[in-house]
Chains A and B, each alone.
Chain A
Amino acid sequence: MNALNRQIDNLGLWLVWLIIAVTLVFLIAPIVVSILMSFDARSYLGRFPPTEFSFHWYERFFSDTYYLNGLKTSLIIAVIAAAVSTFAGVSAAIVLDRYDFPGKQAIETVFLSPLVIPAVVVGFALLLFFALIGVFQGYPRLLAGHIIITFPYTVRTTLAGLTGIRRNLTEAAMTLGANEWQAFWDVTFPLARTGMIAGAVFAFAFSMDDVAVSLFLTSPDTYTLPVAMVSMMRTNFDLTIAAASVILMLFTIVLIVVLDWIIGLERVIGGGVYRS
């Protein structure tokens, strides 16, 4: 019996190692493949691996006004949406943290609900709504969509930052002569700042990444980079998209470094995608 158990133990251990190894390869290999392919010197979409390397797909990306337009729109939308969401989210989180009123829980749930509503539904609903009120330009529609999907992230990270601050720090400031506003600006705000910045960074990242909502809300001359990439993926067979992917990946890496620097990765995970 013991010998059998021992064999099962060893077998199980090997199995676990195998699973981990295969999974890691599965996670990494595609990324490596697309990076290598983006440097492929061939002028057509050939089989992996590339035989020679060059930067010509990157040159194509940076000379293609279709992509550049998308990149410009994406950046403009992401910056404005992140700013608006952060402003609204921080304000709302302050109230949710410091005041008690009937229906507070319900309001918080509604504020965070865009996290759990399928993005396609949000995009579709906004499309219908803007058609109803007669707005057909790309910018206002895209902005609205990006603000509503990034807003809950800013509310949540700010709330997480605020609840970590003990109430008696504010009280200490008040016994030392600060009124409510001064206590907020001198004590609460500096301590909650990392949470607010993290919220803004998240908002920017998710805005840059969105496909599902944007696809419904673009107009022929106003489209985001991911939307441009999707339409190229379906119609074109070249590796400019690989070059675009690598550029976006660089964005991601910078973002992770920034987040780690601001709040530490462990807390990014604590924030997670869902509140558990």
Chain B
Amino acid sequence: MKNYRGAVLLMVPGIGIVLAFLVLPLANVVEESFRLFEPGRIGAAKDAPYTLFNYAELLNTNYLYYFVETARIGLIASITGLILGFPIAYFITRRLRAIWRKIAIGFLVGIMFISTLIRVYALQLTFGPTGIAKILSGLLGVSMNGRFYTELIVIFGLLHYLVPIAAITLLGTIQNINPRLSEAAQALGASRWMAHLSITVPLCIPGLLSAFLISFTLCLSAFVVPMILGKGKILFVSNLIYARFSEISNYPSGSAISIIMLVLSLAIIYGVTYVVSKRLVKY
């Protein structure tokens, strides 16, 4: 235990990987984000002057729109995911016998583990022109090539991943709530739905918050879902970064967007984690 030289040696590979493949590249992105870009080049010139233009440009409503859209669609998907995931988690923990519970959990984990690509392609086949696009868009009274239907399919794409994750996150929370509490409320005269609203749901708030946090951050960094299912009509911030690279090679602008996205994601994750941990102390 006192062998500190051995300890340092063991840390070398990990620190090396993180330095070379994460810290230095990110530092380079920060540097690049302040460089002036001349259209037509690939990336900024070596001696390009420093500028705040790449950040200032993002305040333009056109760009701000991508951030707002990403957050709006992410919010809708996350909250819907919680609403659908909660009853499933409750049902699995409270209503199923051990063997079925294991099968149900296995099913959820299986759905969660399915490759994003398979998921996206399956949804495209099902809700696209080869599937029920005509019927569903007809029912909703919208065009199947319109923006509303596309947005709906993007949300479906997010939900297919978020529902199992939300349900699995909430399993633990619900398991930790004593079922006698809800029974006690009913014995004291509350109806079942009252007991749920006044006892179970408030006790689940920390779990709901962390499930929401996980869902929302996954939405913010979603890439494949809007890229394939959005068909160019719906673009998330991550798609914008990719477009900066693949379409116009404007690396400085891509860098600035990356930095903003990184800061926003980390702020949300660590901020909400802090709030959740503070709240948890109360119970």
Contact = CB atoms under 8 A, between A and B. Distances in A.
B271 interface: no
Interface string A1-31: 0100110110011001001100100110111
Interface string A172-189: 000000001000000000
A55 interface: no
Contacts of B7: 95, 98-99
Interface string B5-28: 001001101111110111111101
Of B88, B113, B124, most buried by chain A (CB within 10 Å of CB) is: B113
Interface stretch (B49-57, B143-151, B215-223): B215-223
Contacts of A84: 13, 17
B18 A111 contact: yes
B191 A272 contact: no
A121 B164 CA distance: 25
A26 B162 CA distance: 12
B164 A276 contact: no
A94 B10 contact: yes
A202 to B, nearest CB: 10
B18 A260 contact: no
Interface in A36-75: 37, 45-48
Interface of A is mostly: helix
Interface in B75-128: 83-84, 87-88, 91, 102, 105-106, 109-111, 113-127
A115 B83 CA distance: 25
Interface residues of A, number: 92
Contacts of B171: 269
A20 B91 contact: yes
A204 interface: no
B21 A268 contact: no
B71 interface: no
B102 A265 contact: yes
Given A120-B258, A248-B118, A272-B168, A125 B223 contact: no
B245 interface: yes
Of A8, A34, A124, most buried by chain B (CB within 10 Å of CB) is: A124
Nearest to A1: B191
B113 A144 contact: no
B74 interface: no
Interface string A82-93: 001101110110
A212 B87 CA distance: 32
B266 interface: yes
18 contacts: A16-B91, A30-B126, A30-B127, A33-B126, A47-B130, A85-B17, A91-B10, A94-B10, A95-B10, A119-B221, A124-B245, A125-B28, A131-B43, A144-B20, A148-B17, A209-B117, A256-B110, A265-B102
Given A47-B129, A48-B125, A120-B241, 6 more contacts: A37-B125, A46-B130, A107-B15, A129-B28, A211-B223, A252-B110
Interface of A: 2, 5-6, 8-9, 12-13, 16, 19-20, 23, 26-27, 29-31, 33-34, 37, 45-48, 84-85, 87-89, 91-92, 94-95, 98-99, 107, 110-111, 113-114, 116-122, 124-129, 131-132, 144-145, 147-148, 151, 155, 180, 205, 208-209, 211-212, 215-216, 226, 229-230, 233-234, 241-242, 245, 248-249, 252-253, 255-256, 260, 265-266, 268-270, 272-274, 276
